[in-house]
Structure 1
Amino acid sequence: MRLTKTFLAVSAAFCSTIVLAYTPGIYTASVAGQNGPVAVEVQTSADKILSVKVSDQKETQNIGTHAVEQLPAKIVEAQSADVPAVSGASVTSKAIKTAVQECLDKASGKKTAASPLKDGTYEAKAYGNNGWLNVKVVIKDHKISEIQTPGQRETKFLGDTAIREIGKDIIDYQTLNVDNIAGATVTSTALKTAVGEAIEKAGGNIANFQKPVPQKIKKIDGVQKQEVDLVVVGAGGAGLSAAVTAKDLGAKNVLIVEKMPVVGGNTLRCASAFNAADPERQKALPMTDTLKDAVVKAINEKPANEEHKKLMADVKAKYEAYLKSGSKTLFDCPEWHALQTYNGGDKVGHIPLIRTYANNVLDTLHWMQSKGSPVMDRVSQGAGALWQRTHQLDAPAGLGLVDPLYQDAVKQGVNFKLGTRVTDLVLDKSGKVIGITAEDKVGTKYQILSKNGVILATGGYSQNKEMRQKSAPHLTPDMVSTNQPGATGDGITIATRHGADTTGMNYVQVYPLATPGTGTLQGRARKMSGLDDVIDVNKNGERFVKEDARRDEFVAAIKKQPGAVCYDINDSSIVKPLNSFNEDVETLVQIGRIYKADTLADLAKQLGMPADKLEATVAEFNKMVEAKNDPKFGRKLFDRQIVKAPFYATPRAPSIHHTMGGLEITPKAQVVDKNGKIIPGLYAAGEVTGGIHGSNRLGGNATADVLTFGRIAAKSALGKN
C-alpha cells in the first residue's frame, strides 16, 4: 500500500510537469507593417511551434522582405516570438513578431486583455520623410478621438495626404491595420508607429488595434463612359504642364487620369534643378579661360553628322559674336545648351528634339514663374549639368514646380481621376486615338473618349524591373531607385501595343549622389543642388573624380571606391536650417545621416578616415579655387573655398534615376509608329519619351524637358502649335 501511494505521488508530480502548451492547429493574425498589413500563419503541436509563414505582405523589396525571409525560421528555432529584429527592417520585424505572438496566444488559450484606453492626450514621435513626425493622440471615452501632428513638414501631396487619410481611418475604425498611401510609405509608417506608441502609453495593447479597414469603394458593374475635350494620362510635371496649358488655350473639359493616389509623380520628388540659358541671371557669372576652352573644343571637333555640323556652326557664330562684344560674363545660348545636351548624351540623341527643347525652355521657366514658381536668382551647376545654367526653386524638393501647376489646374477647372490605372487606348476605324480605357483599384472599368486625343505623361520605367533589366541588363535587379513607385513604364507598354516605336530603351541613368541604402535624393547638408562649393571624397579622404563630370563618369568613379560610396564635403556657408528637401539638417546630424564637426580633423575622425588626408584634400581644393584650375582631374567649376566651420560630410552612393529611352516623338510631341508615321491623336511628353537625352541625361535637363514638352504636347493636341 505504501509503495502504491509513493508511486502515485511520483506519477502525479511527474505528470504535473507535462503541460499542454498549445492546442494543436494553424492560427492566423495580421498586423500593420511598413507598407500595409503583414499576415502570418503559425502551426503548433501540443508543445511546439512547428512552422511560421508570412502569408501576405507588401513590404519593401530588399528591406522589409529581409525580415519576411529570415524571422520565421528564427522564431521556430527559438520557439518564441521574442527574437531580435532584422537590422534595417525594424518595423516589419515588429509586425511579424506581434502577429506571431497573437497566434501563440490564441493557441495557448490566452485572450488578449482588451484594457480600455485611458482618457487623455499622449505624445509620441517617429522619423518621417523630412524629419521627426510629432504626434499627439487624444483619447476620449476610451477611444482614439483625435490625431494631431503639430509642426509636421512632410511633403505636400504625399506626406500630408498620408497623415490626413490614414489618420482618419485610424479614428473611424480604431485600428492601425491601415494600408499605406502609395508613394508616401515612409510618412505612412511613421504616423502609424507614433500612434501605436501613444496607444501603448494610454494602456492599450497593439494587438487589439489590428482589425482590417473595410473596403470603402464599391465596384460598379459595367463600363462607366465619359467624354472630354482632352485626356492627359499622368499627374506629374508633364501631365500638369499639359493640362494647365490646354486650359490656358481655352480647352473646356480637361481630365487627368493618374494611377497613383496622389499628384506630382517624380517631379514632386526631384531637387527642382532646371536648366535654361538665362542671360539675365547668368550675367553675374564669370567666363574663365577653362570654360572658353570647353566651348572652343566643342565647336571644332569632327561632326558626327550634318545636323551636328549645323548645330556646331550655329554655336560658333553665337560664340564669335560674344567674343566680339567684349563680354566677360558667362557665355550661353540655346544652341550651346543643345550642343552640350547632344554631346553629353554621346551624340545619339535626336537633334531636332533637342533644339526644340533648348529653344523653348527659358519661355517655360518664365511661364512657370507666372504661375507662381519661386525661381531663385542664383544660377549654379547641378551634378552632371556641365554648365552653370541650373536654376533652383525656393521650395522643398519639386514642390515649387508641382504646387503652382496643381493650384492653377484646380482654379481653371481641370478634373482629376486619381487611383485609376489606364489599361489601353481607344482607336477609331481609321487608327486615330480617340480615348482610353481605365480601371480603378476596386475593378470599376471606364471608357473615356477625348475630342482632341490623348497625351501620355506616365513617366519612365525605373521601377519596372522586368522592363528595366531587359533594356539595361548590366543593372542588377536589387538596385534601388530615386523614383516614385508608379514609374513602371505603363505608357510605353500601352502605346507599343498599337505600333508605337521606341528609341534608346537601353539607356538608363544612375544618379551618383543619392542616399546609400534607400536610393533617395534627400539627406544632404547643402541647401543648393549645385556642386559649385562641394568636393567629393572617398573613405581615404581623397578626391577621385572631377565633381562637374557627366553623371555616368561620376557613377563609374564611385563604384571603384572602397564600399562604392563617397562623401559630399562642404562648409557651413551653403548650409541652412532646412535643406532643399525641407529636412532639418541638425536632426539629420543627430540621427547619423549627416556628419558635422568644427574641424576637418574631427570630421575625418567621425568618418573613420585619415585626418591629414582630408585636411590636405580640402587645402588643395582651396588653392584650386584661387587658381580656377584643377590640375589633377580637370574640374572647371569653382566658386567658394571650403573654409567656414562647422564642416559637413554627407554619405552618397549611386541610385537608378532616369530612363532616357521611351516613345519616339516628333518635335511637336506626336508619337510615331515603327514606320516613322505619326499616330494621329496620340501625344507624349516627359520621361515616357526618348530621343532628347541620348545615352546620358545632363543634370537639370529633366524637369526642364518634362515641363516644356508637356506644354508642346497640349498645343499640338489643340492645334495651336
Structure 2
Amino acid sequence: MANVIVVGGGLAGLSAAHTLLERGANVILLDKQGFMGGNSTKATSGINGAGTQTQQELNIPDNAKIFFEDTKKSARDLARDDLIQVLTGRSGDAVNWLQAKFGLDLSKVARLGGHSQPRTHRGGAQFPGMVITYAQMERLEDLAVSTPDRVKIVKKARVTKLVKEGDQVVGVEYEFNGKTETAYGPVVLATGGYAADFTADSLLKKHRPEYYDLPTTNGDHCTGDGHKMAMVAGAKGIDMEKVQVHPTGLVDPNEPDAKVKFLAAEALRGVGGLLLDNTGKRFVDELQHRDYVTGKMWENGKFPIRLVLNGPASKEIEWHCKHYVGRGLMKRFESGDALAKEFGLSPSVLKKTFEDYNQSVRTKKDPFGKKFFSGEWTYDDTFHVAMMTPVLHYTMGGLEIDQASHVIDTNGKPISGLFACGEVAGGVHGANRLGGSSLLGCVVFGRVAGDSAAAYLLQATSAAVAKAGGRLGAIAGQVSGSSPSSSSSAPTTETKQESNASGKAFTMAEVSKHKSKQDVWVVVNGEVLDFLPDHPGGEKAIMLYAGRDATEEFNMLHDPKVIPRYAPNAVIGKLKN
C-alpha cells in the first residue's frame, strides 16, 4: 500500500502511524521539531480508561456509560455526543492496546477531578505521558531503520501547506533544510493545539485575548499550525474560544514571572493534596473540574496559593514529589511547625484547617462540596508544598471532525484525504477537558484516524487504478509496483549514531563554567554532555542543570539508552574522579 502523511510526532501522530502500519499502509511522519514527542511527553497524571483489565483486577466498577456521563457533564453539554461516545467507548481498548502492544505498566489507577470513578491509569515510575509516548516513538524509529520502505521520519520538517487537487487533499508541502519539499498521500494532522500561539496571527489572541498574557505549560511549537493550514484549505474550525486554563501551574520562586511553567499533575490533588490560600485556609473542592477550580482561585484572590500534600499523599505519588523538589519547584517540610513558618502563620491556623477538613472526612459533608477523600490529616506529619498559579494548558477548540476523524469543511462535508486527531481536533471535550483525557484522545482518535486513512487510501488507489489518471493514479502505481516517483524523497530518521566523545576528561569545576544558553554542559552518569537547549522538555529543562550533575534527575525521567539513541553527539567526554 502507498504512503499516508502524518503531520506531528506527538502521541496522536504516533498512534495514527502505528495503526496505519497495522493496516498495511506506509507512513511518512513529518515533525517540525528536532525531536518527537511534543506535549504528550509532559503529561503527568495518566491516561483515562473505562472497563480496563486493570480496573477489573482492582474491582473498580467503571464502564463506558459512566465515563460518558462524566465527560458530558465536564464538557458543559458543548461537546458532541457522538465524539464523546468514541472517546469513552474505545477508552478501555486504548489502554489495553498500550499494555499489550508496547508492554507498558499502567497498573495504578487514580481518581482525578470530575471523575466519579478511579480511571486514570499510570505506572509505578516516571511520568506516564513520557513512558507512553517514548514507547511508541522508539518502536516507530526502530521500524524506520529496519523497514525504511514502509516508515520514513523527517524531523525539523515544517509543514506549510496542504496540497489539493480539486476538493481532495493529496499531500503536503514542507520546509526541510532550507528547501520546499512535497510529500504525496492522504494526510493525518496531529499538530497539537494553540495554547502557546503568541505569533503574529495568533489564534489565542483572536479567540481569547483576555488569556493572551497568561503563562503556559505548552512548548513553543504549539502555535496552531495545523488549524491554520487546514482552514486555508476549507476546513471548519469549531469551539475555538474554548481554551482551558489549568489551576495548578508550578511557580518557580526564582522565576515567578516565567512565561512557560511546569504543570503540577492533577494526580497530586487526586491522591489527597489540598489547596490553601495565603491565610492557610481551603477555598475550593480540590477535585472539581479544572475551570471551576481556576475560577475559584481567581475569585478568592488570596495569592500565593499553595498545594500541600501530607505524608500519605506524598508517599502515594512519591516520584512526582521528588521530581518537583529536584527542580526547585516544591519544598519538603518535616513538621507542621515548619509548614506554618513557610506560610508565615500561627500553628493554630493550620491546625484548625486540618481539623475542619478531618470533620469533612468523617461526616462526608464538606463546606466546599468535596465528595471523595483520602483520609484524615495530622499536624505532626511531613509535607510537600508548592506555589500554584493558573496557566494556559489545553485548547478544546479545533478542526471539526466526524466519528471517523475526517476533517469537515465549511459546508459540513468531509474533505477527501484529510483526517485529524489529538488536540488539533475540536468538538471532543466541549468547554472543559477532564484530566487524563488528553493522552486518551491522542490514542483513541489517533487509532481512528489511522483506520480511516488506511481505508481511504485503499479505496482511493482502487478508484485511481480504474481512472488511471491524476496524482492518485501515480500513487496507485506505487501499489502495483511501478516507480515511486510521486513519493517523498524525505530521508529516514537517524536513530543509531556514534558518539563524538574523544576520550577527553573534565573536572566538575570545568563543567560548572559552561552554563549559558549558548554553552550548556551537563553531567549524566559520569559523562559530560555539551547539550544545547534543543530538548523535548524545553529550554528550561536543560538550563536548570547547566553546569551541574543532573544524573539523579535524568535517571528519574529517562531510560539509560536515551542518550546513546537520541543525543550521542552531545557526549564530549568523561567526568574526572
TM-score (norm 1): 0.58
**Equivalent-residue separation in structure 2 for 1:699 and 1:620 (angstroms):** 27
**Which residue matches 1:531?**
270
Cα distance per residue 1:97-129 (max 9 Å; x no partner):
xxxxxxxxxxxxxxxxxxxxxxxxxxxxxxxxx
Structure 2 matches for 1:478-557, cutoff 5 A? Answer: 478-516=213-251, 517=256, 518=258, 522=262, 528-557=267-296
Q: Which of the pair has the greater relative contact order for Cα pairs under 8 Å at 6+ separation?
A: 2
**Which residue matches 1:230?**
4
**Which residue matches 1:9?**
none
The answer to whether the 8 A contact 2:274-2:309 is kept is yes
What code does the residue aligned with 1:615 have? K
What residue ranges of structure 1 are gaps of 5+ in the alignment?
1-226, 286-328
C-alpha displacement of 1:522: 4.1
The answer to whether the 8 A contact 2:45-2:120 is kept is no
What residue ranges of structure 2 are gaps of 5+ in the alignment?
145-150, 459-577
SS in 2 for 1:339: helix
What count of residue pairs does the alignment treat as equivalent? 441
SS in 2 for 1:474: helix
Structure 2 matches for 1:331-342, cutoff 5 A? Answer: 331-342=61-72
**Which residue matches 2:560?**
none
**Which residue matches 2:86?**
356
1:463 and 2:196 are equivalent in the alignment: yes
C-alpha displacement of 1:578: 8.8
SS in 1 for 2:29: strand
C-alpha displacement of 1:572: 2.3
Among 162, 168, 173, the residue aligned to 1:432: 168
What code does the residue aligned with 2:391 have? S
1:346 and 2:76 are equivalent in the alignment: yes
SS in 2 for 1:638: coil
Structure 2 matches for 1:236-315, cutoff 5 A? Answer: 236-251=10-25, 253-278=26-51, 280-282=53-55
What code does the residue aligned with 2:88 have? A
Structure 2 matches for 1:402-441, cutoff 5 A? Answer: 402-413=133-144, 414-429=151-166, 431-440=167-176
**Equivalent-residue separation in structure 2 for 1:242 and 1:582 (angstroms):** 33
Cα distance per residue 1:422-471 (max 9 Å; x no partner):
01011123x2111000002x421101011xx1000000011113210211
SS in 2 for 1:619: helix
1:574 and 2:321 are equivalent in the alignment: no
What code does the residue aligned with 1:676 have? G
What code does the residue aligned with 2:373 have? F
The answer to whether the 8 A contact 1:502-1:662 is kept is yes
In the TM superposition, structure 1's runs of 4+ consecutive aligned residues that sit over 6 Å from their partners are: none
- Aligned residues: percent identity? 29
C-alpha displacement of 1:374: 3.2
The answer to whether the 8 A contact 1:577-1:584 is kept is no
1:614 and 2:350 are equivalent in the alignment: yes
The answer to whether the 8 A contact 1:271-1:521 is kept is no
**Which residue matches 1:103?**
none
**Equivalent-residue separation in structure 1 for 2:307 and 2:66 (angstroms):** 29
TM-score (norm 2): 0.72
What code does the residue aligned with 1:546 have? D
**Equivalent-residue separation in structure 1 for 2:237 and 2:376 (angstroms):** 45
The answer to whether the 8 A contact 2:314-2:321 is kept is no
Cα distance per residue 1:186-206 (max 9 Å; x no partner):
xxxxxxxxxxxxxxxxxxxxx
Structure 2 matches for 1:5-154, cutoff 5 A? Answer: none
The answer to whether the 8 A contact 2:269-2:287 is kept is no
**Equivalent-residue separation in structure 1 for 2:169 and 2:374 (angstroms):** 51
**Equivalent-residue separation in structure 2 for 1:554 and 1:669 (angstroms):** 31
**Which residue matches 2:532?**
none
Cα distance per residue 1:578-598 (max 9 Å; x no partner):
95559545545xx4x323322
The answer to whether the 8 A contact 2:280-2:345 is kept is yes
**Equivalent-residue separation in structure 2 for 1:458 and 1:239 (angstroms):** 8
Task: Please give the root-mean-square deviation of Cα atoms over the aligned residues, in Å.
Answer: 2.5
What code does the residue aligned with 1:405 have? Q
1:623 and 2:359 are equivalent in the alignment: yes
The answer to whether the 8 A contact 1:228-1:449 is kept is no
